[in-house]
């Protein structure tokens, strides 16, 4: 995916062009400036909307959509295709050399050569242009995979819709982790803070309320404009909700937003190349330098020997084009892009192309439990109250038969527990979907009410304040007033936290009694017992208040009255256990990170196949982690498979410790606080369904199904793509080495050149064209997961790859030279037949070499000759093109060839197949060696 545009540095000058500073852009009048000084009532009246139901009709929304257009920021369109195509003729120095060669040939009267070279230039440029176009289209497709979405309330109905559908007057709800989809006038807020750093540059999140701004306070500002940072009732498009939740009315969309004008100015800045592309460019430059030195020597020797300087110039330029893999970065980009699109079909969206290659190196995966390793569909399994079920074994088991009447279990303490679970809850019922939507835990708590013939009781209460749940405080609290005017605070959270602040409990008859240490021990034992069965345990409590005065804060959560425990189950995904088995076989260390207790975590880990031999060593709690330094953690983390009671902040320490050991880490996460760890990890993996926008933005990969097993698929694809990159590198470089060496040998030993300029250019088209590209889409070999991950320091061109390509090049050189000398010796001069035989022999060698490069260790007969359809088409068209070059009169004039007999073709096929046979024998030897020394083979 493309980088987040909000993170592009706001500069005043780029490549010599003046860019308007963002400060000027933000000072422009827009809708947020107008509405920040209006009250909520004035805003609603002006936009004709409601603070609870949004726009009153879908017809009005349609009318406004037609009037205002989509909520999108249009990027300037690229240059037309014809202009891009023509620019390729002047941007490449090598193409300019060829054009110069054609002009010189034309001036000297060699019209045939001039036409031939011109045709070659058009073919080379066209092939490169088509590949670049394919790459751009692949990347454009990737940009559409994760559209911006929001929670829209229209006509009183809540739905999850594309942000582009928003119109002024729409009502949008948002919560922690969401990205604001448009400029909003806030009408309702609960502990709302928003990170506006991507717009204003201020790092501290800004507290937001629904109170309007007093414009008179800013009369000293130029034109009395309220600064962006002081519009406290406006939520800006693209900013991130850090804490709390709220609702807002859309007042500005698209370019009519504070951010829109800045974005429009920044879209002209060219994105830098990815690290992998830069590495490939460096490889190309290194190869080019060596090639130019050799080509210069060849040209100089030829001229000294008395050969025509024009002929040597044309040969040298053609060799340069053939020897330098100028199409390498294009092929790498296309290969990665196509791989990413394949992964998207398998539920893994890679946001940054180089991450595909990095996936193959991952040797540690740190995964959340809920929703990733488990199905993320919580259901209430058991309920326990201190007075009604004094023994920990006496619990209400909701997993019993449907015929059981749970209403008979409604004692006052059970009723109080169910009441708290209902009112201390932010899930909402969607008429559109016909079910509750929200946090899976909240949804499960509301869904259980029907089993007791109880309805959602929130409508009979008025919410005054709320303390939202977060990983640090580990509880949620709401301050409510009922219909009779009684005020109370209702709390749910981790049982340890609730017990710390409780001093009484509710009896089965609704009375309140003192909570003794013995009672607390019973509660703790029961909670641990439920957790040991793999249940997530929550405790529920309340605090009666004399009145509604005062502010609800964490310090006020004390002297609670304990109501009961609820145990919820979230079964493991059926695909997780087989995936973990394969990862462990491939020497990938899998670590589970969860906020649950140690007992719950161990139970789930054993169920899904994560080894827990000794919990004392394999499990590390968040409390212990707090007391450890990064060095201490790095020393023990190799044995740890579970982090229990962990917070998102702990993830950062875990990633640091692993990277300090030299590991390549993949980290999963879905919350705002997960973002630093996701960004620090080599591969940050966010959840597509439950993940927040900021987590997706910080990640390298998004799992659209939130399924852990998809990571296995991604790693497998990453390893396969890296192997494919090495395979087409082997093919390209072996052909380059062979072409250069062939001409160098002929020149050194004063032999006529076996290939003319046009023939060398045709070979270059085959080398950089479809056959090479088709090697990049070879199907992934599932056996790659049996090999250990690559090390961070491993090179792209390993010693094995170099040895393989040099052996292939040697066979091509020897075979082609043999055919050339054999044909030339028959009449002691170079004829059209001689060059045709040599030319065709080299092309056939090229095709057999491509066939052998489809896999580095497996026989072609094992993987299947016809399994790669793109390869079959590419080789077929290449061979058809070669036949045209030697049989069609027009092409015979271009390539200086003549027709060959079937026996000639049979002879050439027999000679050129030696490179394929030799590579098959090498693979056979490698397989036999692997059976004797498996550990050696596993590192190849």
CA distance 534 to 604: 6
Q: Exactly one of 195, 368, 674, 682 is catalytic; which is it?
A: 368
Cα torsion angle, 248, 249, 251, 255, sign? positive
CB 398 within 8 A of CB 383: yes
Question: How far is the CA of 369 from the CAs of 273, 602, 707, in angstroms?
Answer: 36, 11, 10
Cα gap 194→237, rounded to integer Å: 11
Two tokens, residue 795? 């090179």
Annotation says 674 is catalytic: no
DSSP codes, 319-367 = HHHHHS-TTHHHHHHHHHHHHHHHHHHTTEEESSTHHHHHHTT--EEEE
User: Using CA atoms, how far apart are residues 924 and 940, in angstroms rounded to an integer?
Assistant: 14
Angle formed by the axes of helices 309-323 and 275-304, to 10°? 160
Coil/strand/helix, residue 621: strand
E strands along 754-857, which residues?
none
Instruction: Find the angle CA(831)-CA(834)-CA(840) to the nearest 5 degrees.
Output: 135
Question: Cα separation of 718 and 30, whole Å?
Answer: 46
**HSE-up of residue 907 (Cα within 13 Å, Cβ side):** 12
Which stretches of 749-788 are DSSP H helices?
A: 757-768, 770-775
Name the residue with tokens 């590198």: 729
Q: Over the Cα atoms of the chain, what is R_g?
A: 35
Q: Which is nearest to 277 in space by CA: 323, 320, 337, 322? A: 337
* β strands within 546-580, DSSP E: 560-569
How far, CA to CA in Å, does 128 sit from each of 84, 88, 136? 12, 9, 12
- In sequence order, which residues have a C-beta less than 8 Å from that of residue 382 and are 6 or more positions away? 395, 396, 397, 398, 399, 530, 535, 566, 567
* C-alpha dist (Å) from residue 239 to 260, 304, 438, 542, 697: 12, 69, 21, 35, 12
Q: CA-CA distance, 743 to 293, in Å (whole number)?
A: 14
The residue length of the chain stands at: 940
Secondary structure element (H or E) that encloses residue 224, with its range: none
Helix (H, G, I), strand (E, B) or coil at 903: helix
Q: What gap in Å lies between CA 938 and CA 940, rounded to an integer?
A: 6
Q: What is the DSSP track for 409-448?
A: G--HHHHHHHHHHHHS---EEETTTTEEES-HHHHHHHHG
396 burial level (CB within 10 Å; 0-12, 13-18, 19+): buried
Q: What tokens were used for 586?
A: 């491939």
For residue 827, CA distances in Å to 290, 754, 823 come to 36, 15, 8
Closest by CA position to 789, among listed 723, 727, 724, 855: 723
User: Tokens representing 447?
Assistant: 């869904």
Provide the annotated active-site residues.
Answer: 368
């Amino acid at each position: 995916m493309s980088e987040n545009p909000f993170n592009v540095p706001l500069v005043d000058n780029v490549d010599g062009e003046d860019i308007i500073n963002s400060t000027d852009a933000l000072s422009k009048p827009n809708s947020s400036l107008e509405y920040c000084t209006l009250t909520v009532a004035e805003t609603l009246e002006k936009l004709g909307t409601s603070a609870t139901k949004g726009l009153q009709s879908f017809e009005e929304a349609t009318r406004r959509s037609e009037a205002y257009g989509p909520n999108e920021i249009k990027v300037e369109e690229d240059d037309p295709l014809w202009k891009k195509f023509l620019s390729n003729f002047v941007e490449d120095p090598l193409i300019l050399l060829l054009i110069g060669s054609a002009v010189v040939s034309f001036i000297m009267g060699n019209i045939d050569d001039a036409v031939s070279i011109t045709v070659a230039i058009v073919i080379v440029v066209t092939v490169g242009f088509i590949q670049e176009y394919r790459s751009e289209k692949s990347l454009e497709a990737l940009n559409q995979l994760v559209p911006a979405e929001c929670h829209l309330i229209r006509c009183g109905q809540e739905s999850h819709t594309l942000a582009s559908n928003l119109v002024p007057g729409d009502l949008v709800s948002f919560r922690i982790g969401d990205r604001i989809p448009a400029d909003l006038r806030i009408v309702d807020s609960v502990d709302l803070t928003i990170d506006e750093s991507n717009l204003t540059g201020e790092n501290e999140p800004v507290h937001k309320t629904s109170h309007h701004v007093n414009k008179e306070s800013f009369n000293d500002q130029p034109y009395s404009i309220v600064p962006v940072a002081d519009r406290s009732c406006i939520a800006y498009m693209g900013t991130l909700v850090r804490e709390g939740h709220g609702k807002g009315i859309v007042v500005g969309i698209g370019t009519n937003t504070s951010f829109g004008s800045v974005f429009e100015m920044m879209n002209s800045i060219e994105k830098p190349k990815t690290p992998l592309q830069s590495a490939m460019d460096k490889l190309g430059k290194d190869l080019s330098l060596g090639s130019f030195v050799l080509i210069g020597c060849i040209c100089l020797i030829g001229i000294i020997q008395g050969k025509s300087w024009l002929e040597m110039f044309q040969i040298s330029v053609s060799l340069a084009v053939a020897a330098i893999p100028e199409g390498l970065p294009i092929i790498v980009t296309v290969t990665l892009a196509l791989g990413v699109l394949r992964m998207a079909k398998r539920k893994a969206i890679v946001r940054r192309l180089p991450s595909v290659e990095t996936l193959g190196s991952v040797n540690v995966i740190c995964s959340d439990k809920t929703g990733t390793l488990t199905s993320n569909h919580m259901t209430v399994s058991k309920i326990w109250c201190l007075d009604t079920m004094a023994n920990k074994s006496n619990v209400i088991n909701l997993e019993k038969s449907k015929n059981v009447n749970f209403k008979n279990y409604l004692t006052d303490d059970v009723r109080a527990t169910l009441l708290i679970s209902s009112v201390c809850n932010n899930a909402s019922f969607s008429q559109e979907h016909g079910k509750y939507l929200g946090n899976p835990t909240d949804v499960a708590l509301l869904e259980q009410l029907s089993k007791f013939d109880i309805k959602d009781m929130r409508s009979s209460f008025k919410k005054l304040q709320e303390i939202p749940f977060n990983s640090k405080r580990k509880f949620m609290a709401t301050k409510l007033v009922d219909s009779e005017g009684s005020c109370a605070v209702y709390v749910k959270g981790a049982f340890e936290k609730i017990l710390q602040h409780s001093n009484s409990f509710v009896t089965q008859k609704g009375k309140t009694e003192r909570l003794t240490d013995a009672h607390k021990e019973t509660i703790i034992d029961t909670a641990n017992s439920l957790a040991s069965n793999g249940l997530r345990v929550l405790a529920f409590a309340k605090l009666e208040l004399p009145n509604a005065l005062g502010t609800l804060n964490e310090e006020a959560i004390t002297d609670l009255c304990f109501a009961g425990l609820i145990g919820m189950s979230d079964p493991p995904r059926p695909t997780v256990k087989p995936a973990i088995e394969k990862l462990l076989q491939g020497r990938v260390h899998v670590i589970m990170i969860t906020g649950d207790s140690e007992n719950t975590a161990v139970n789930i880990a054993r169920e899904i196949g994560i080894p827990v031999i000794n919990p004392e060593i394999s499990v590390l709690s968040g409390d212990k982690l707090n007391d450890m330094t990064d060095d201490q953690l790095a020393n023990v983390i190799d044995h740890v498979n579970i982090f229990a009671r962990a917070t998102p902040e702990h993830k950062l320490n875990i990633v640091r410790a692993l990277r300090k050991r030299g590991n390549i880490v993949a980290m999963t996460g879905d919350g705002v606080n997960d973002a630093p760890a996701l960004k620090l990890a080599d591969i940050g993996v966010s959840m597509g369904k439950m993940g927040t926008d900021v987590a997706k933005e910080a990640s390298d990969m998004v799992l659209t199904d939130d399924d852990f097993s998809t990571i296995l698929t991604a790693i497998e694809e990453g390893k396969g793509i890296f192997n494919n990159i090495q395979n087409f590198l082997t093919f390209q470089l072996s052909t380059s080495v062979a072409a250069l060496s062939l001409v160098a040998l002929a020149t050194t030993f004063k032999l006529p050149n076996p290939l003319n300029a046009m023939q060398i250019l045709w070979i270059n088209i085959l080398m950089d064209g479809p056959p090479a590209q088709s090697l990049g889409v070879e199907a992934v070999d599932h056996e790659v997961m049996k090999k250990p991950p690559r090390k961070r320091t491993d090179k792209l061109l390993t010693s094995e790859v170099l040895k393989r390509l040099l052996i292939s090049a040697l066979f091509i050189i020897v075979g082609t030279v043999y055919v050339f000398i054999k044909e030339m010796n028959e009449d002691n001069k170079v004829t059209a037949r001689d060059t045709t035989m040599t030319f065709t022999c080299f092309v056939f060698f090229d095709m057999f070499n491509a066939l052998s490069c489809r896999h580095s260790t497996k026989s072609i007969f094992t993987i299947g000759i016809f399994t790669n359809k793109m390869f079959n088409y590419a080789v077929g068209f290449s061979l058809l093109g070669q036949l045209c070059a030697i049989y069609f009169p027009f092409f015979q004039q271009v390539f200086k060839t003549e027709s060959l007999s079937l026996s000639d073709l049979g002879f050439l096929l027999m000679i050129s197949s030696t490179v394929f046979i030799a590579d098959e024998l090498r693979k056979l030897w490698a397989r036999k060696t692997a059976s004797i020394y498996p550990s050696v083979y596993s590192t190849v």
